[in-house]
Chain A
């Protein structure tokens, strides 16, 4: 059981470039989440999904897009990278609302 896996671990992007952060879970969880973590700010929810084909915005969705075509995968897309998107990104999954969230190891993104 790998849990939640994220790729890549680290990436440097130039302003205006695009990329997809991959997230996969093998626990058959319906709920999946994307967070960003900035120093001293805790985690902020970007997008979440309650099941395949269903996604919704979190607190800080601007500049990001998601899709959920399968239960296992929940990729996060950055279309036009900006320096403000420099952060550490975490994917998580859970069985439902209020349940324990299981986190991936994170992707560190630097936009220059």
Chain B
């Protein structure tokens, strides 16, 4: 069955510390991959996406993600977290059909000043 897991429900980091959010997927073929961020009371906003090519993808707000086919992972990273990064982060995977996009359960990030 197709699925997306985000093993960490909640993560707390200090401002200025590095961050890695994990995403693992189970899919029939290599899907396209997304990371979205949701600030409190807001809709989701795309951080970055991967379709093919270079496995290290750069996104907005200083985020990057690395696709590792052998591990079926697409982890999100940021070298130095800012207080404004506190939000909910969703990994999503999909194929070439509108109803085949699967969202992970999300990871809530708290940032300590």
A residues at B contact (CB < 8 Å): 4, 31, 33, 35, 40-45, 48, 50, 56-59, 90, 92, 97-98, 100-101, 103-106
Whole-angstrom CA separation of A43 from B41 in the bound complex? 15
Chain B residue nearest in CB terms to A6: B43
Sorted from nearest, which 9 A-B pairs have the closest CB atoms?
A103-B43, A42-B103, A43-B103, A103-B44, A42-B105, A48-B98, A100-B46, A105-B43, A98-B32
28 CB-based A-B contacts, threshold 8 Å? A31-B98, A40-B9, A42-B90, A42-B102, A42-B105, A43-B44, A43-B90, A43-B103, A45-B99, A45-B101, A50-B98, A57-B99, A59-B99, A90-B43, A90-B44, A97-B94, A97-B97, A97-B98, A98-B32, A98-B94, A98-B96, A100-B34, A100-B46, A100-B49, A101-B46, A101-B101, A106-B41, A106-B42
Chain A residue nearest in CB terms to B96: A97
Whole-angstrom CA separation of A100 from B93 in the bound complex? 12
Whole-angstrom CA separation of A42 from B43 in the bound complex? 13
Whole-angstrom CA separation of A109 from B35 in the bound complex? 26
Q: How large is the interface on B (under 10, 10 to 19, 20 to 34, 35 or more residues)?
A: 20 to 34
Interface contact B96-A106, CB-CB below 8 Å: no
Count the A-B residue pairs with Cβ separation under 8 angstroms: how many?
Answer: 57
Looking at A43, A44, A103, which has the most chain B CB atoms within 10 Å of its CB? A43
Given A40-B9, A45-B101, A98 and B43 touching (CB < 8 A)?
no
Given A33-B98, A50-B98, A56-B99, A104 and B43 touching (CB < 8 A)?
yes
B64-98 residues with Cβ-Cβ distance < 8 A to A are 90, 94, 96-98
Interface contact A40-B105, CB-CB below 8 Å: yes
Measured between beta carbons, the chain A residues less than 8 angstroms from B41 are: 105-106
B5-53 residues with Cβ-Cβ distance < 8 A to A are 9, 32, 34, 41-46, 49, 51
Whole-angstrom CA separation of A48 from B94 in the bound complex? 15
Whole-angstrom CA separation of A44 from B99 in the bound complex? 10
Whole-angstrom CA separation of A98 from B34 in the bound complex? 10
